[in-house]
Chain A
């Protein structure tokens, strides 16, 4: 990727050959073989996120979607690969560069019951980033910014500023988390399952809020979810992950209506929907996701794939653009 290191004009995040292997600390395998073993959470992922879009990462637990989000949010360091954010390689370890980037790149986590400190007030939680990055001069300025951020997430500042998280409902907590994420006026937000802990009626309110704020504040989102219906509502484009790799990436409508990779096809087919109340045959694929310590050789999906060929068992398919803007990693669609 030497000469390709230049970013495309319209992309805000570009991920290249990203790998994250977690060493296994103990285990009988290591004792017997003397070899360090790894969980290959992420094993070479490439994608670009365009400015102003909502890019989705979907897949089952353990597919690497959260790891990808955390790497992009600079919460851990990659084993290998590059992450460009606004032209800056944030996989490098220059602390000063990272601090600048951190101002413009924020994260919203899954469980609002867990990650807001119970000892801090809403005011302290939302204003903390201002203090860390030393962007305000006076207390009044800080208060104004916090009030503005709370207003933009539809929370009344006066009523809520002095509450602590236990006094808020799940939806309100997630609103506080979003207020904290936007207070430094970021350009990009990683949202890791931001609605999956919430009740349905609250969930739709948060998703609508996120979409409205995106337009008002010119944000770009990486939206990580296991819920494909929610993903469809939020995302312009999606990447489907399986066992540490992206198997398909395209526009959301193409992923849902014309999935090409056999795994995506199976995934879309089993999503329960309320659109049709006909009993469909839940044509589930067999078996379970193999473990990421010893992933299968060749295509990682081959042991479960209904279309498996000889080549799939030995040769790992690369992610290639099969149709315009539609990337698939599958030997069924080999060019030529």
Chain B
């Protein structure tokens, strides 16, 4: 049984200008010890998907339909009080923008201990001991629990955020752009840490990023989202080496390679649609070089093609 299963998730935001269909019919599974990358450009719904799993969608947004099964149990109908026992304890999240996530006036140890004391009835001393152990794990000297956030660099703060996420031994970690704000070398250090910890602790990881190359380094599976829907979903190597959906193909070819032959980069004409009035049929059809008549009227379903799932009329279901 997968640890996390998202079925036909639909999240909408009822704004003054209309209803934004931010996430539409998104389904995927996350097995134990598996890492799945959720990729796409700004506004494609990847962060909203993560927030929906955590039930952190605030009005005017709401989950309109679908299930989020965690160890077989649906989280969508759960109350806020019930979710509080799950967040941080069973499923935890690493956010982007680390400098805002730590409170500048509290010592690091107190902030880490607070994360434990929210969920477990142990003494403050025990919690601080746990905080030190977790700092060891992420490669920060344990004596530094008495330091304040400003005494750490950006990369170290991101390690601390990972430590906070791990301190209650969660089964699933959702990391939303964990390295986007970091420099190349700190990014390398943090990615290596995530990779090491994932295998060491047997975590299931959902990594959200706009950067396909980060997913290539860390993840087993990859789902590419466009305009609130999954365009292509499969093993990382399969999708990155031979993308089938015209959007994922264009996205992969928009990344400049570091080595090997230099080729002219492709760009996608137009811009992503506004999701108040998404295009009829396939949401990518106005920008797609292969658009056919059927694409304008009929929404393609995610179907199994060549060892991965694709939602595109070029690959009809058998």
Q: Which residues of A contact B (CB under 8 A)?
A: 60-61, 169, 171, 199-205, 207-208, 226, 228-230, 232-233, 256-257, 266-277, 279-282, 284-285, 288
Known: A267-B184, A277-B236, A285-B185. A208 touches B213 (CB 8 A): no
Residues in A with CB closer than 8 Å to B156 are: 288
Known: A60-B184, A282-B217, A284-B185. A273 touches B250 (CB 8 A): no
A273 contacts B258, C-beta separation under 8 Å: yes
Interface residues of B in 188-231 (CB under 8 A from A): 188-189, 191-192, 195, 210-214, 216-218
Complex Cα gap A257–B211 (Å): 23
**Which one of A202, A233, A268, A284 has the greatest number of beta carbons of chain B within 10 Å?**
A284
B254's partner among A200, A270, A271 (CB-CB below 8 A) is A200
Residues in A with CB closer than 8 Å to B240 are: 274, 277
List the 8 closest pairs (A to B, CB-CB), nearest first. Answer: A270-B188, A205-B267, A204-B265, A233-B256, A60-B183, A272-B213, A282-B192, A201-B268
A272 contacts B216, C-beta separation under 8 Å: yes
Complex Cα gap A299–B188 (Å): 23
B183 contacts A61, C-beta separation under 8 Å: yes
Complex Cα gap A178–B235 (Å): 40
Complex Cα gap A205–B217 (Å): 25
A229 contacts B257, C-beta separation under 8 Å: yes
19 contacts between A and B (CB under 8 A): A199-B42, A200-B251, A201-B254, A202-B267, A202-B271, A207-B265, A208-B264, A229-B213, A229-B256, A232-B258, A257-B259, A272-B214, A273-B257, A274-B252, A274-B255, A279-B218, A281-B192, A284-B192, A285-B185
CB distance from B40 to the nearest CB of A (A): 9
Known: A60-B183, A199-B210, A257-B259. A284 touches B265 (CB 8 A): no
**Interface range for B:** 35 or more
B265 contacts A256, C-beta separation under 8 Å: no
Residues in A with CB closer than 8 Å to B266 are: 204
B259 contacts A275, C-beta separation under 8 Å: yes
B255 contacts A272, C-beta separation under 8 Å: no
B259 contacts A270, C-beta separation under 8 Å: no
CB distance from A180 to the nearest CB of B (A): 21
Interface of B is mostly: helix
Residues in B with CB closer than 8 Å to A279 are: 195, 217-218
B213 contacts A273, C-beta separation under 8 Å: yes
Residues in B with CB closer than 8 Å to A273 are: 213, 216, 257-259
Residues in A with CB closer than 8 Å to B187 are: 270, 272
B42 contacts A267, C-beta separation under 8 Å: no
Residues in A with CB closer than 8 Å to B268 are: 201
Interface residues of B in 234-293 (CB under 8 A from A): 236-237, 240-241, 250-252, 254-260, 262, 264-268, 271
CB distance from A132 to the nearest CB of B (A): 32
Asked if B155 lies at the interface with its beta carbon under 8 angstroms from chain A, I say yes
B256's partner among A169, A230, A281, A285 (CB-CB below 8 A) is A230
Asked if B8 lies at the interface with its beta carbon under 8 angstroms from chain A, I say no
Interface residues of B in 16-75 (CB under 8 A from A): 41-42
Asked if B118 lies at the interface with its beta carbon under 8 angstroms from chain A, I say no
Residues in B with CB closer than 8 Å to A266 are: 185
Residues in B with CB closer than 8 Å to A199 are: 41-42, 210
A208 contacts B267, C-beta separation under 8 Å: yes
Q: Which residues of B contact A (CB under 8 A)?
A: 41-42, 153, 155-156, 183-189, 191-192, 195, 210-214, 216-218, 236-237, 240-241, 250-252, 254-260, 262, 264-268, 271
Residues in B with CB closer than 8 Å to A256 are: 258-259
CB distance from A236 to the nearest CB of B (A): 12
B184's partner among A204, A207, A228 (CB-CB below 8 A) is A228
Residues in A with CB closer than 8 Å to B42 are: 199
**Which one of A205, A256, A282, A288 has the greatest number of beta carbons of chain B within 10 Å?**
A282
CB distance from A210 to the nearest CB of B (A): 12
Residues in B with CB closer than 8 Å to A169 are: 271
Residues in B with CB closer than 8 Å to A268 are: 258
Complex Cα gap A271–B186 (Å): 11
Complex Cα gap A200–B192 (Å): 24
Complex Cα gap A142–B196 (Å): 60
Known: A207-B265, A208-B264. A226 touches B258 (CB 8 A): no
Residues in A with CB closer than 8 Å to B258 are: 228-229, 232, 256, 268, 271, 273, 275
CB distance from A289 to the nearest CB of B (A): 8
B262 contacts A226, C-beta separation under 8 Å: no
A171 contacts B271, C-beta separation under 8 Å: yes
Residues in A with CB closer than 8 Å to B155 are: 288
Residues in A with CB closer than 8 Å to B189 are: 282, 284
Complex Cα gap A248–B58 (Å): 50
Complex Cα gap A61–B252 (Å): 27
A284 contacts B188, C-beta separation under 8 Å: yes
B184 contacts A226, C-beta separation under 8 Å: yes
**Which one of A268, A271, A272 has the greatest number of beta carbons of chain B within 10 Å?**
A272
**Chain A residue nearest in CB terms to B189:** A284
**Chain B residue nearest in CB terms to A209:** B267
Residues in B with CB closer than 8 Å to A284 are: 185, 188-189, 192
Residues in A with CB closer than 8 Å to B236 are: 277
CB distance from A59 to the nearest CB of B (A): 9
**Chain B residue nearest in CB terms to A285:** B185
Residues in A with CB closer than 8 Å to B153 are: 288
CB distance from A292 to the nearest CB of B (A): 14
A232 contacts B264, C-beta separation under 8 Å: no
**Chain A residue nearest in CB terms to B253:** A204
Complex Cα gap A169–B269 (Å): 13
B265 contacts A272, C-beta separation under 8 Å: no
B185's partner among A230, A267, A274, A277 (CB-CB below 8 A) is A267
